[in-house]
Amino acid sequence: MKNSPQAVQVLVVDDEQDIRDGSERILSRMGCRVFKAGRGEEGLDILSREPINIVLLDLKMPGMDGMEVLSRIKSRDKEILVIVITGFATVETAIEAMKQGAYDFISKPFEPDQLRIVINRARDKIRLTQDTEKLMAERKRTLTDLGTEKSRIHTIVESLPVGLGVTNTSGQVVLMNPSFRRRLGLDPDREPGESISAYVDNAEFCNLVMEISRGVSMDSSEARTCEFLLPDENYLMARGRPVLGEDNMCLGAVINLVDISAIKVLDRLKSEFVAKVSHELRSPLSTIHEQLALVIRDMTDDEAGQDQYILSRAKEKTQGLISLIGDLLDLSRIEAGNICQEPRPVQIDKLLSSIVDFIGAKARSKQQILDLHLPSVALPPVTADPVAIESIFGNLITNAIHYTQDGGKIRVTATAEKDGLCVSISDNGFGIEAKHLENIFKRFYRVKNEKTRFITGTGLGLPIVKGLLDELGGSVKVDSTVGKGSAFTVFLPMGG
């Protein structure tokens, strides 16, 4: 329930009893709380005790006169509204009283309605003053809150353990916290204000920040990332997002920096461990595989049947493990930079022909058509390690065969471009859902669905392709539509 507004308190100071009592009757009916005084001194006494809002003050009184009372009231509290009561003959005095700070006046004798009008006017004025005061207090509080909030956010940003930097649309740093400076090895007093490239000597990082700042990548839901090495051998991971203002306008970029040096060391140790274990397992597994093949081959017809089935399954499984180990060793070599060590001119058209010939048997066993389309003029050679090139296209063509239904089509096309060669491997197979596309180049990532469930694989083929192409300075991109097929396009730079 809403509280009723507090009653206005009115003090009537008049030496005439009739005026005091008559006024009290009218004012009480108007909902006012009324106090009465027959003399000025008595009125001032009440004022010192009660929170009076309005004083109805007779100017002509015995003892202390109205003007004196008015001046005392005003010197005590300017907010009290004084309405002076004047006789016909004392209009000048009324004007004088107004000059001294009286709010209004009413002439004697007055009708009840006249009193109601002046009191109502005074009450409106009080209400307005109170509303204004309330609004001012509210505004002051909001500003104080804002100020507190701002300094709180500032303190939080300053003490964040991750490096945080903000740029404007020109890529100038407008804010950086102490961790940001520390991560980049900057002076603790280094001020923002310069372009990002003045603080970080790394082209990839600076390009990323510039692109996000200029609004090239407007998707604020996904952070763009880049890893880079500082001269002090520290590895940093940067994540950047656009700062979007009203109407989705890009206002700049927010960048966060995390030190990932320890993760990198762990990663290297893990790779070394995997390489070592894989190496140790490869020989015994190959021996088991060969022995199983011999046993199966030498089985007599009597022994064949259930036993042969079990041994064949065991042989298949060891073959799977040998492939996995081979892939893991390839990845370790790529990570250690031990691949592409002997670059020489490679005739891609010849190499593609021999790969297609070799893998063609697999496609034929699935009644698939595997075509190779080469330009009529011989392609210029690329300088690269032939084993690496063989691995790239071997993986991509094998994938196309695996992930295309029986009777499907696979087409390999090679063309010469301005600074390199383009090789596309397209199929009309199962295709890949868009949500998986950015993950299929991650290690062990395999798309599992009704179509691919029974296809064995390691999830390491595409990471090997990507790793090798990174080493060669090339790239791979994929277009795919579920149910229609996929196209993997490889770019190989001429220089290798």
Q: How far is the CB of 331 from ligand ADP (least distance, A)?
A: 11
Nearer to ligand ADP, 85 or 389 (CB): 389
Q: How far is the CB of 431 from ligand ADP (least distance, A)?
A: 6
Q: What are phi and psi of 428, to 5 degrees?
A: -110, 40
Alpha carbon 10 to chain centroid, angstroms? 61
**Spatial distance between the Cα atoms of 173 and 283, rounded to a whole number of angstroms:** 56
Residue with tokens 């505004």: 139
**Spatial distance between the Cα atoms of 32 and 49, rounded to a whole number of angstroms:** 17
Nearer to ligand ADP, 164 or 462 (CB): 462
Contact yes or no for 177/160 (Cβ under 8 A): yes
Q: How far is the CB of 275 from ligand ADP (least distance, A)?
A: 19
Q: DSSP of 278-294, one letter per residue? A: HHHHHHHHHHHHHHHHH
**Spatial distance between the Cα atoms of 19 and 322, rounded to a whole number of angstroms:** 115
Nearer to ligand ADP, 121 or 446 (CB): 446
Instruction: State the residues that interact with ligand ADP by CB under 6 A.
Output: 395, 399-400, 403, 427, 429-432, 440, 445-447, 452, 457-462, 486
**Spatial distance between the Cα atoms of 355 and 160, rounded to a whole number of angstroms:** 54
Nearer to ligand ADP, 161 or 483 (CB): 483
**Spatial distance between the Cα atoms of 125 and 160, rounded to a whole number of angstroms:** 52
Strand segments, DSSP code E, in 145-249 are 163-167, 173-176, 224-229, 235-244
**Spatial distance between the Cα atoms of 463 and 247, rounded to a whole number of angstroms:** 40
Contact yes or no for 134/104 (Cβ under 8 A): no
Q: How far is the CB of 205 from ligand ADP (least distance, A)?
A: 28
Q: How far is the CB of 356 from ligand ADP (least distance, A)?
A: 15
Q: How far is the CB of 434 from ligand ADP (least distance, A)?
A: 12
Q: How far is the CB of 180 from ligand ADP (least distance, A)?
A: 37
Nearer to ligand ADP, 209 or 363 (CB): 363
Q: How far is the CB of 462 from ligand ADP (least distance, A)?
A: 3
Q: How far is the CB of 401 from ligand ADP (least distance, A)?
A: 9
| 196-202 LR contacts (CB < 8 Å, sep 24+) | 196/165, 196/167, 196/171, 196/172, 197/171, 199/173, 201/231, 202/228, 202/230
Q: Compute how many other C-beta atoms are within 10 angstroms of the C-beta atom of residue 120.
A: 11
Q: How far apart are the first and last CA of the chain?
A: 82
Residues pairing with 12 in the sheet: 36, 56
Q: How far is the CB of 456 from ligand ADP (least distance, A)?
A: 8
Can you give the length of the chain in residues?
A: 496
**Spatial distance between the Cα atoms of 443 and 457, rounded to a whole number of angstroms:** 12
Residues pairing with 425 in the sheet: 412, 488
Nearer to ligand ADP, 186 or 329 (CB): 329
Nearer to ligand ADP, 254 or 490 (CB): 490
Q: How far is the CB of 274 from ligand ADP (least distance, A)?
A: 16
Nearer to ligand ADP, 123 or 466 (CB): 466
Burial state string for 390-416 with b = 16 or more CB within 10 A and e = fewer than 16: bbbbbbbbbbbbbbbeeebbbbbbbee
Nearer to ligand ADP, 165 or 457 (CB): 457
Nearer to ligand ADP, 297 or 453 (CB): 453
Nearer to ligand ADP, 335 or 427 (CB): 427
